Chains A and B, each alone.
Chain A
Amino acid sequence: MTSVWAALPVFMQNGLIAVGLLGPLLLVGALLLRGFRPWPLVRALLWRFRWANLMFVLLIAVSIGMGIGLIAQERGLRVGTAKAAEKFDLVVTAPGSELTMMLAAVYLQPAAVPLLDGFAYDRIARHDHVAIAAPIAFGDSHEGAPVVGTIADFVTHLAGDPVEGRLFQRSGEAVIGSAIDLKIGDRFTPAHGHGARAEEDAHDGFEIEVVGRMPPTGSPWDRAILIPVETVWEVHGLANGHRVEEGDRIGPPFTPELFPGTPAIIVRATEFWANYALRSEFTEAGETMAFFPGTVLNDLYRVMGDVRQAMSVMSTVNQILVATAVLLGLFILSRLFQRQLAMLRALGAPRRFILSVVWGYGVSLLLAGTALGLTFGFAAAALLSRLVTQRTDILVTASITWSEVTLALAFLSATSFLSLIPALVVLTRPIVENLQK
C-alpha cells in the first residue's frame, strides 16, 4: 500500500489528500442540503450579525495566517540560506567554531578570526584534486559594504553569469556586487574595519577603481566589493604574495613566504567525491579545519526545525482555541435567531432544513476565515521575507505550498464537522416556547 502511494507523482498525492480532506465535508453538505435552498436564509443571517461574523472570520483568519506564515517563512529562510551557500563547496579556515567561520566567510558577517599562512595555502592549492583554492580576505569596508580580497577565478565562479564590465586584472581594481551603489569607473578608498567604528582615513592614498559588476546572486555577496587579495595586503602595508620580479601579476600561484595570510580559503574540488577526501585531509588538529557549509547549515536547520515544531504546536493549539471560540459563538448566535428558526419549524420546515441553515451559516464563516487566513499567511510570510532579505542580504522568498493549503483544509474540514453540533443542539430546543419570546 505504501509503495503504491510512494509511486504516485507528487501532485497526485497532494490532490488525493485534498480530496480526502474535503470529500467528507462535501458529502455531508450534499446530504444535508439535498432538495433544499438554505442560502437565502444563510445570507440573511450573515448580514444580520455582520459585525460578529466579521470578528469570527478575522479571528479564524489571523489564527490560520499565523500558523501558515510561520511555516512558509521558516522554509523560505532555509531555502534562501542554502541557496546563498551553494557556491561554497568546501571552506578551509583556522580551527575554531565552524558556525562563526561559515557566517564570516560565506555570509560576510564580520568576525575576528585567525589567519592561515602561505604554506597552508600552498599545500591546499597544490593538491591534485583541488580545482580552485580561493583566499577570502575580509576586514575592510566601504560605506558599510564589506571589501573582500580574493582571486579572479572565484569571482567568475561566484557570479555564474558573465560579469558586466570585466574582472580585475591588476591590483587596485574591483568588481562590485549587484546592489552596490557605484558605477563602473568610480573610484573609492576603503575604510579599515566595519560599521560605525570603521576608520575612514586609515588607508588614505589608496584608490580602488570599479571595473566590473556581478549579476545578482541572492546572497550577501550582492552587497560586497571584490578586490584582488594582493590589494588587501598592499593596503595594509604587507607583502603582496608575489616576488618583485613578477611585476604586477595577480592571482595564484603565490610565494608562501610572501603570503601574509588569509582568514579562509574556498576550495572547489576536481570531482564531487574529492570534496570528502579533501575535507578529511585538510582537517589537521591545531593547523587547519575544513567543513561543508551545507552540513553546518543543516545543523542550524535542525535547531530551527525544533523551534518551528514547538511553534507549530502552539499554533495548532491556538487554532483549536479559535475553533472552539467560533463554535461557542455559533451556539450563542443561534440563540439570537431561535425565534426565526422556531417560526420556520412552525411553518413546517423539516428538521434537516433547519440543520442545513445553521450548519451552512457556520461553514460559511469557517470557509471565509480559512480563505482569508491563507491570504494573511502568504502576506505575513512575504512581509517577513522582505524584512529578512533587507537585514541579511540573503534572498528569502516566501511561498505557500500544498502542505500549508493542506493544513488549512484540515482545519476547515475538522471545524466544519464540529459545527454540526451547535446545529443539532438547535433542533432539540422546543418550538412553542421559542415562538413566543
Chain B
Amino acid sequence: MRYLFAALLFASPAFAEGEPDAAHLFEIAGLEILHPWTNATQDNHAFVYMEIHNEGADPVEIIGARLLDGPQGYLVGFRMQGGKMGIASLPPIPVAPGKHLDLTPRDLAIRLDGLVAPLVAGQSLKAVLLTSAGELEIDVAIESMSATRHSHSGHSH
C-alpha cells in the first residue's frame, strides 16, 4: 500500500522536472531572458541564442556568458563580407528600458568556448549569463543541429 502511494506521488506532475515555464524564463534586475537555446554540436564551441526584454527602469548591458566553470564567452555578430558570412566580436550591448534584444542564428549570438563534451539535442546546458546588473544562471535548451529557432518559439509566456 505504501509503495502504491509513493508511486502515485512520484507520478504526479508536482514531482515532474519543474514547471515547463521555469526552464524557459530567467530574470535579473528587471531583465527577462526567454528561451535560451543552442544547436547540438560536436565542436568545442557553441552559439547561444535567446530573447531579452528589459522590463525594468534602467538600461542593462549584455556582456556575454560562460559555462559553469569555463572561459568567458562574448557577444558575436554575423555579417556578410564579400559574399561569405563572417563573425565579428562585439562589445557589450545595452538594452534600454522597455526595449528588447533578440539573439538569433546568423544574426547575433553569445559564443561559448571551452566545451568539453558534445552537446546532444534534447538535453540542456547550464550556463551563466553575464550582464552589467550581475550574473544569472540559465538553462540553455539544446535543439537539433540544424534548428533555426527554439522549439517553443511562437508561444507566448
**Residues of A that sit less than 8 Å from B by CB:** 75, 78-79, 81-83, 85, 272-277, 279-281, 283, 292-295, 297-299, 301
Contact of A276 among B80, B82, B107 (CB under 8 A): B107
User: When A277-B94, A277-B95, A280-B102 are in contact, do A82 and B80 touch as well, CB less than 8 Å?
Assistant: yes
User: When A273-B93, A298-B85 are in contact, do A280 and B99 touch as well, CB less than 8 Å?
Assistant: yes
Listed A/B pairs (24) with beta-carbon separation below 8 Å: A78-B83, A79-B83, A81-B83, A82-B82, A83-B82, A83-B83, A85-B80, A272-B88, A272-B90, A273-B75, A274-B93, A276-B75, A276-B93, A276-B101, A280-B101, A280-B102, A280-B108, A281-B99, A281-B100, A281-B101, A283-B102, A292-B107, A295-B107, A298-B106
CA distance A75 to B83 in the complex (A): 8
CA distance A75 to B107 in the complex (A): 22
Secondary structure class of chain B's binding surface, majority of residues? strand
CB B109 to nearest CB in A, in angstroms, measures 10
A292 & B79 in contact (Cβ 8 Å cutoff): yes
Question: For B93, what are the chain A residues with a Cβ–Cβ distance below 8 Å?
Answer: 273-274, 276-277
CB B113 to nearest CB in A, in angstroms, measures 17
User: When A273-B93, A276-B90 are in contact, do A295 and B80 touch as well, CB less than 8 Å?
Assistant: yes
Would you call B73 an interface residue if the criterion is a C-beta within 8 Å of the partner chain's C-beta atoms? no
CB A11 to nearest CB in B, in angstroms, measures 18
CA distance A280 to B101 in the complex (A): 5
Would you call B77 an interface residue if the criterion is a C-beta within 8 Å of the partner chain's C-beta atoms? yes
CA distance A274 to B75 in the complex (A): 12
CA distance A328 to B75 in the complex (A): 59
User: When A273-B90, A276-B90, A283-B102 are in contact, do A294 and B82 touch as well, CB less than 8 Å?
Assistant: no
Interface size class of B (residues with CB under 8 A): 20 to 34
Question: For B83, what are the chain A residues with a Cβ–Cβ distance below 8 Å?
Answer: 75, 78-79, 81-83, 301
A298 & B102 in contact (Cβ 8 Å cutoff): no
User: When A82-B83, A273-B91, A276-B107 are in contact, do A295 and B78 touch as well, CB less than 8 Å?
Assistant: yes
CA distance A79 to B101 in the complex (A): 30
Closest to B106 in A: A295
Secondary structure class of chain A's binding surface, majority of residues? helix
Question: For A279, what are the chain B residues with a Cβ–Cβ distance below 8 Å?
Answer: 102, 107-108
CA distance A298 to B106 in the complex (A): 9
CB A81 to nearest CB in B, in angstroms, measures 8
CB A219 to nearest CB in B, in angstroms, measures 14
A276 & B106 in contact (Cβ 8 Å cutoff): no
Closest to A274 in B: B93
Per the 8 Å Cβ criterion, residues 95-117 of B in contact with A are 95-96, 99-102, 106-108
Closest to B62 in A: A277
Closest to A127 in B: B96
Question: For B96, what are the chain A residues with a Cβ–Cβ distance below 8 Å?
Answer: 281
CA distance A273 to B80 in the complex (A): 14
CB A175 to nearest CB in B, in angstroms, measures 27
CA distance A281 to B94 in the complex (A): 11
Question: For A83, what are the chain B residues with a Cβ–Cβ distance below 8 Å?
Answer: 82-83
Closest to B93 in A: A277
Question: For A277, what are the chain B residues with a Cβ–Cβ distance below 8 Å?
Answer: 93-95, 101
CA distance A293 to B106 in the complex (A): 12
CA distance A292 to B81 in the complex (A): 12
User: When A78-B83, A79-B82, A283-B102 are in contact, do A276 and B94 touch as well, CB less than 8 Å?
Assistant: no
B77 & A275 in contact (Cβ 8 Å cutoff): yes
A276 & B85 in contact (Cβ 8 Å cutoff): no
Give me 9 other A-B pairs in contact (C-beta within 8 A), A275-B77, A279-B107 excluded. Answer: A83-B83, A272-B88, A274-B93, A276-B93, A277-B94, A280-B102, A292-B79, A293-B80, A294-B85
CB B54 to nearest CB in A, in angstroms, measures 11
Question: For A276, what are the chain B residues with a Cβ–Cβ distance below 8 Å?
Answer: 75, 77, 90, 93, 101, 107-108
Closest to B52 in A: A280
CA distance A277 to B52 in the complex (A): 11
CB A436 to nearest CB in B, in angstroms, measures 65
CA distance A167 to B15 in the complex (A): 71
Question: For A297, what are the chain B residues with a Cβ–Cβ distance below 8 Å?
Answer: 80
CB A290 to nearest CB in B, in angstroms, measures 10
Residue from A83, A294, A299 whose CB has the most chain B CB atoms within 10 Å = A294
A298 & B77 in contact (Cβ 8 Å cutoff): no
CB B51 to nearest CB in A, in angstroms, measures 9
CB A279 to nearest CB in B, in angstroms, measures 7
CB B103 to nearest CB in A, in angstroms, measures 9
